[in-house]
Structure 1
Amino acid sequence: MDRKAVEEIVEAVGGKENIAAATHCVTRLRFALKDEGKVDNEKLERNDLVKGSFSANGQYQVVIGQGLVDKVYNEMVAITGIGTATKQEIKDAAEQNLNPLQRAIKTLADIFIPILPAIVTAGLLMGINNILTGKDIFFEGKALIDVYTSWADFASIINLIANTAFVFLPALIGWSAVNKFGGNPLLGIVLGLMLVHPDLLNAWGYGEAQQKGEIPTWNLFGLSIEKVGYQGQVLPVLFASYVLAKMEIFLKKRIPDAFQLLTVAPIALLVTGFLSFIVIGPITFAIGNLITDGVVGIFDAVPVLGGLIYGALYAPLVITGMHHTFLAVDLQLIGTIGGTFLWPMVALSNIAQGSAAFAMMFAEKDNEKLKGLSLTSAVSAWLGITEPAMFGVNLRYKYPFMAAIIGSAIAGIVITLRGVQAPSIGVGGLPAFLSIFTEYWGVFFLGMGIVLVVPFVLTFIMAKTKRRKEA
């Protein structure tokens, strides 16, 4: 480990006096800085350990790379004497620099990112199930399990495991949201499970039951309350979790410690439960459906425009951190219409960033550091992790980022016109096809071809044009 290079990183972010707190993730150092204006970006870029840097959600992040970031962080702690901080402490320190909109976006990110591994795992398992049950993949007009019937139960079990995260999605969100809002996450799980209890009418059968006039109800103090579950819904459990957490905090401040175990949780859960079914659930359910209908309506009415805008804007949204808000929309779409047409464009956008970075390896042959960074960051992006490619290469030179956006926008139009959907969120790179409905594989592979070729070619041409102008 080059101690001097680590010291230069500390100096470049304004010195140890400018560091309020610091931690790291899989690939990046994360700083909560007192004054980001003191950062010397040029000095950071010259550092051999640094693959890129950016500011997002009130944190200044320095891309180092998987594995190496641990060593760099430990050396930095030894040099500066700063205490080892948790990611939550960094987030709390960074939050002081955010405006209300940024705080709202950060709150959504903090809720949904912890449950993402379960959702991505479900997506990959659904991909395996798609291969086993999809027709015309291996045999004309038949699925693999139709020919090899002994695999049918195997596919059924995989499907059950994959669907669990979505059937009990409110429980996952309840756990994460109540934890974020300062309450007991176990009560959040109970709240989420309560909203999908088997005694309630399944939300996916609500429309049919409504047409038949067979919706069961509770008669409560003269009110007729529909006994409807909220499977696949995002907003009801989000708002109910906020109420539950704040009520728990309120009660803990006013009830003596000796009585809290017997009173706080029962009262908070009971009151939140009643509010959920009487007020929160019906209102947010309607709002959620309006959002879904609005998004679907736009893409149905003008699919070219929808694909163009989302395909082009997703990468810029990553810079601001606003892309996390669309995870909630994806989950809402999956729960309401059975699939999302937004996430496939996210996967293609990631691949496009990798292709643009990969082109820089050939366009800038004389820059050995850039060549190595371009290759490793491209592979990372093709496997779904875009930060090294986006912040280490593409945004630094600008034109690769524009080339990636153009490729992503074209591919977005193509797959949106054909209505490509995914039943779940998976790995947002080359393995993404596993999480796409099998009937759309052909079109999605065409989209993948576009984001592999177009950003590469455009980046290469732009680099050569720039060189000729400079010469």
Structure 2
Amino acid sequence: MSNLNQAAKDIVEAIGGKENISAATHCVTRLRFALNDESKVDKERLENIDVVKGSFSTNGQFQVVIGQGTVNKVYNEMVNETGIGEASKDDVKSASEKNLNPLQRFVKMLSDIFIPILPAIVTAGLLLGINNLLTGERIFFEAPLIEVYPQIADIANIINIIANTAFTFLPALIGWSAVKRFGGSPLLGIVLGLTLVHPELLSAYAYGTAEQIPTWNLFGLEIEKIGYQGSVLPILVASYLLAVIEKFLTKRIPDSIQMLIVPPVTLLITGFASFIAIAPLTFALGNLLTDGVIALFANFAALGGILYGGLYAVLVITGMHHTFLAVDIQLANAGGTFLWPMLALSNIAQGSAALAIMVASKDEKQKGLAGTSALSAYLGVTEPAMFGVNLRYRYPFIAAIIASAIGGLIISIAGVKAFSIGVGGLPAFLSISKEYWLMFAIGVLITLVVPFVITYFMAKAKMKNEK
């Protein structure tokens, strides 16, 4: 019997046996379970299994951190050897929703919509950062790099086009993911999103400076003929309506003519409703929320920096951090987000705390786990560090929170902004506006040093007391 085979069986037994599993699947690093009764989980036994790096419960799912490259093998062994049927992520999500309250369901809905499109947004942010290095003044020379080396100007332009695509057609990405989440046809979601940014419409980015706003005259109503580039709420609400209408018609239209009736009627009704009511109202609401957040941080920057910087890691534990992704996107499109840089500092702080455990520990397994988890956190993925190391000992997690609160305070007072969402770790400077690099670097230095020093000396003191 292979080690992974035995590990899979041990994991099943530790979480209460196969009869306690309603559904199971895996992602890149974790096994995901919908359990009938989480109180049956023996966490101490579970986390003593060699391949297990940590475990936690969130959004109705019990997740076991295994690690990239190994998790799929453990999952396959678990399916083959224990008789647990393979399930899709949607199956597990559906099974786990019965354990959620209304707020958790809402947070989970946002998570389900934004997580699938996050790679495109992060990639776009990273590429925009590279483009800014090539085109920005006073970075390498007084003049932009493309002027010093004109031969790379076209390369920078192509990078810029690739990078901007995800943000230019953001409603299409959200439309695809949201309609899929709501049970409709993802393709219709893409079309709806593209409709809201059609080239014939006045761009939302030009709305504020336009001398004259074009309009439609519909039954005596003057409807502004504008696009909704970079907006989140209009496509979210419109996608929900589209899915509802599509499912309603699909149940009532004969199969033989569904193709001719359902898609065009669904798109026409949703499209008219979007331009007449949904988009204008939600666009105004989105701007109001954005202005409110900006005003809050403008007047209470220090408090906001301490709270968001310090508590972001706590939000990750609860899953509530996904609710701020939409706000981050909206802020980035409104001139820059001051929330995302604090996210990056929080991730770095968790990595530094885990790194200190690696240096201080004498246990080879713990050193290996802490080292790989720290690297992962420095690159923006904190779950292995938080759940596998820092929360297990508590004081590293607290040290990271203290450091990220201090870092958040400093960069918030300084008004540090990111022009896009990028890699939430050490590469984050690529997404930070150039004029804020120095203050952001100070924040990074704090989150590199403070949690490491606190955690290291506390770990050494505890080891000394245990002798």
Q: After superposition, where does 1:311-330 map in structure 2 within 5 Å?
A: 311-330=309-328
| 1:103-160 C-alpha deviation (Å, 9 max, x unpaired) | 1111111111111111111011111101101221111x32111211222222122111
Q: Counterpart in 2 of 1:430?
A: 426
Kindly state the Cα deviation for residue 467 of structure 1 after the two structures are TM-superposed: 4.4
Q: After superposition, where does 1:63-462 map in structure 2 within 5 Å?
A: 63-139=65-141, 141-209=142-210, 212=211, 214-335=212-333, 337-365=334-362, 367-462=363-458
2:98 & 2:251 partners in 1: Cα distance? 25
1:454 & 1:192 partners in 2: Cα distance? 45
2:77 & 2:170 partners in 1: Cα distance? 41
| 1:310-352 C-alpha deviation (Å, 9 max, x unpaired) | 10111000001111111111111122x2321111111111111
Q: Counterpart in 2 of 1:8?
A: 10
1:115 & 1:46 partners in 2: Cα distance? 35
Q: Secondary structure at the match of 1:107?
A: helix
1:439 & 1:147 partners in 2: Cα distance? 21
Kindly state the Cα deviation for residue 468 of structure 1 after the two structures are TM-superposed: 5.3
Kindly state the Cα deviation for residue 78 of structure 1 after the two structures are TM-superposed: 2.1
2:424 & 2:273 partners in 1: Cα distance? 38
Letter in 1 for 2:282: T
Letter in 1 for 2:139: I
Kindly state the Cα deviation for residue 438 of structure 1 after the two structures are TM-superposed: 2.2
Letter in 2 for 1:98: L
| 1:439-468 C-alpha deviation (Å, 9 max, x unpaired) | 222222221111110110111232234445
| 1:45-98 C-alpha deviation (Å, 9 max, x unpaired) | 221111100001111011111111122111111221111111111111111111
1:352 & 1:431 partners in 2: Cα distance? 14
Kindly state the Cα deviation for residue 383 of structure 1 after the two structures are TM-superposed: 1.3
- TM-score normalised to structure 1 length: 0.96
| 1:176-224 C-alpha deviation (Å, 9 max, x unpaired) | 1111111111111111111111111111121223xx4x11111111111
2:57 & 2:120 partners in 1: Cα distance? 28
2:19 & 2:131 partners in 1: Cα distance? 54
Q: Secondary structure at the match of 2:25?
A: strand
Q: Secondary structure at the match of 2:313?
A: helix
Letter in 1 for 2:74: V
1:4 & 1:117 partners in 2: Cα distance? 34
1:225 & 1:420 partners in 2: Cα distance? 38
Q: Which stretch of structure 1 is more off in the superposition, 280-289 or 431-440?
A: 431-440
Gaps of 5+ in 2: none
Q: Secondary structure at the match of 1:47?
A: coil
1:146 & 1:442 partners in 2: Cα distance? 25
1:256 & 1:75 partners in 2: Cα distance? 44
2:154 & 2:439 partners in 1: Cα distance? 30
Kindly state the Cα deviation for residue 39 of structure 1 after the two structures are TM-superposed: 0.2
- TM-score normalised to structure 2 length: 0.97
Runs ≥4 in structure 1, deviation > 6 angstroms? none
2:139 & 2:456 partners in 1: Cα distance? 36
2:236 & 2:76 partners in 1: Cα distance? 37
Kindly state the Cα deviation for residue 295 of structure 1 after the two structures are TM-superposed: 0.7
Kindly state the Cα deviation for residue 258 of structure 1 after the two structures are TM-superposed: 1.7
Kindly state the Cα deviation for residue 469 of structure 1 after the two structures are TM-superposed: 5.4
Letter in 2 for 1:354: G
Q: After superposition, where does 1:12-91 map in structure 2 within 5 Å?
A: 12-91=14-93
Percent sequence identity is 70
Kindly state the Cα deviation for residue 427 of structure 1 after the two structures are TM-superposed: 1.3
Letter in 2 for 1:229: G
1:304 & 1:469 partners in 2: Cα distance? 38
1:438 & 1:37 partners in 2: Cα distance? 50
Q: Which stretch of structure 1 is more off in the superposition, 145-154 or 381-390?
A: 145-154
| 1:327-383 C-alpha deviation (Å, 9 max, x unpaired) | 111111122x23211111111111110100111123332x33211211111111111
Contact map agreement 2:351 2:376 (CA 8 A) in 1: yes
2:132 & 2:68 partners in 1: Cα distance? 32
Letter in 2 for 1:134: G
Letter in 2 for 1:350: N
2:98 & 2:16 partners in 1: Cα distance? 19
Kindly state the Cα deviation for residue 470 of structure 1 after the two structures are TM-superposed: 5.2
Contact map agreement 2:7 2:74 (CA 8 A) in 1: no
Q: Secondary structure at the match of 1:85?
A: coil
1:267 & 1:353 partners in 2: Cα distance? 50
2:241 & 2:7 partners in 1: Cα distance? 48
